[in-house]
Amino acid sequence: MNYSIIAIGDELLIGQVTDTNSGWIARHLTPYGWNVKSVKVVADDAAEIFRAIDEAFEQTDVILMTGGLGPTKDDITKPALCKYFGGSLVHDEATAANVLEVVAKRHIKLNDYTRAQAMVPSSCRVIQNQVGTAPIMWFEKGDKTLVSMPGVPHETETMMLREVIPQLIKKYDSDIDIEYRTFIVIDIIESELAMRLDAFERSLPTYMHLAYLPQPGIIRLRLSGASASAELVNADMDKYSQQLHALLGDNIISDQDRSLPEIVGDMLRKHHLTVSTAESCTGGNIAHVITQVAGSSDYFLGAVVSYANEVKENVLGVSSHDIAVNGVVSEPVVRQMVEGACRVIGTDCAVSTSGIAGPGGAVPGKPVGTVWMAAKCNDRVVAQCCHLPGDRNRVINRATTEALKMLYKLLRELD
């Protein structure tokens, strides 16, 4: 099934807010065999909205629209859709009751603008928003469907999973079986990976496809297949998945679509180990991504953000002599930092970083992007120096990834 996405909002066009809804929608509909044909961002302007809808309906039978449903005057999606599909804005008692319930849960006062969220086009079917005041509106015109949802990501994601996706799948049922396998790959660049898998890709049946989804330090490989025979798809998925493992070996760290912090967390939990971080240039970012994982309290105990040398020395026990002789961005320093984290926080494992994230701070022999890092697991400690490209945020994020990869490799030795 093909569909289009329209994201509405002046704030999206000027870059004040990033459209994350479109990517989320595509990722969650793809496993059902739904293919997004276009994504368009339009202004809060009725004529632009009408034009986007017409263009999308020329390509697809389904439009998923987000944004422009807030309680303020600049959010015009609701009256625009009312004009496009016909009818009039009417007071919906069920929506009014839902608004009152949501407002009460948030312990805020109901005002006229929020109360007006209960006004909906008579031409739509309302799906009550269980986590917000803006209703989801389902429009049908002949064999065409448009679903209008809030721009707030949490609301869109929740209601897509609970209501919208199940109803779309039911309405547009397909006899095609779609299967996906995702492999997380490290320590190989995309071009080299493509060369290694050239013959493998050419051997795939016509109904199967391999997609490369790179991000700094990691590549997600997605093997997909679509056929009327579920038995055939599953059998070939198993066959070609085994071939990928044989070709890539330890480069594959997971055959599920999981983040690196999730993978590391599962390994820590498996071996009943705890972890901490000692961070300088990454400023606590490693601790942040670890604790983004639900259940990370099972293994993560704490962090020392030792930005200043005094903290490295007084808290983590780094030698002032080694800092003076080798510099703070050096192997001896990160090794002592990782040992200090385990000692001070009382963990089995730790990672540490010390580097130059930029844009300033470079010294002779150590340009911006130079990061020393160490990882410790039980009695084993490893360290490495990376020269990472990009701006400050990119260096911090890539250093975070590289440090977690080091820890992953130490944990893999325990298997």
Residue 330 pLDDT: 98
Whether omega for the bond prior to residue 359 falls within 30 degrees of 0, making it cis, is yes
pLDDT band at 173 (very low <50, low <70, confident <90, very high): confident
315 has a pLDDT exceeding 90: yes
Rounded CA gap, 341 and 316, in Å? 6
Q: Specify the pLDDT at position 116.
A: 84
With cut-offs at 50, 70 and 90, classify the pLDDT of residue 183. Answer: very high
- Phi, psi for residue 62 in degrees, rounded to 5: -125, 135
pLDDT at res. 346: 98
Tracing tokens 């479109």 back to the chain, one arrives at 22
pLDDT, tens only, 318-355 = 999 999 999 999 999 999 999 999 999 999 999 999 99
The span from the CA of 14 to the CA of 17, in Å, is 8
pLDDT at 110: 83
Per-residue confidence band for 74, with pLDDT thresholds at 50, 70 and 90 = low
Residue found under tokens 């391999």? 210
- Helices 46-59, 77-85: axis angle to 10 degrees equals 60
Give the Cβ contact number of residue 106 at 10 Å: 10
What's the CA gap between 198 and 99, in Å, rounded?
55
Whether residue 75 is predicted with pLDDT greater than 80 in this model: the reply is: no
**What would the mean pLDDT of 89-111 be, rounded to a whole number?**
88
23-65 residue pLDDT tens: 999 989 987 888 899 999 999 999 999 999 999 999 999 999 9
pTM attached to this predicted model: 0.81
Of 203, 194, 165, nearest to 33 (Cα)?
Answer: 165
Q: How many residues does this entry show for the chain? A: 415
pLDDT of 160 strictly over 80: yes
What is the rounded average pLDDT for all residues in the chain?
94
pLDDT reading at 69 higher than 90: no
User: Which of 143-165 are b and which e, b meaning 16 or more Cβ less than 10 Å from the residue's Cβ?
Assistant: eebbbbbbbbeebbbbbbeebbb
- In the prediction, which pLDDT does 73 show? 67
Q: What is the pLDDT of residue 72?
A: 67
At residue 269 the predicted structure's pLDDT band, cuts being 50, 70 and 90, is: very high
Residue 385, classed as helix, strand or coil, is: strand
The DSSP code for 363 is B
Please state the φ and ψ torsions of residue 144, each to the nearest 5 degrees.
Answer: -100, 145
Could you list the beta-strand ranges (E) of 265-393: 275-279, 300-305, 349-355, 370-377, 380-387
Q: Write down all domains in the chain, each with its CATH number in brackets.
A: 2-171 (3.40.980.10), 177-254 (3.30.70.2860), 260-412 (3.90.950.20)
In the 8-state DSSP scheme, what is residue 135?
Answer: P
pLDDT > 80? residue 177: no
Which range, 68-82, 138-152, 163-177, is most confident? 138-152
The identity of residue 82, as a single letter, is C
Q: What is the largest CA-CA distance in the chain?
A: 78
What integer pLDDT is reported at residue 176 of this predicted model? Answer: 76
User: Can you tell me the distance from the alpha carbon of 33 to that of 226, in angstroms, rounded to the nearest whole number?
Assistant: 8
On the question of pLDDT at 306 being above 70, the answer is yes
Name the amino acid, one letter, at 200.
F
pLDDT of residue 230: 83
Pairing of β 218-227 and β 275-279: unpaired
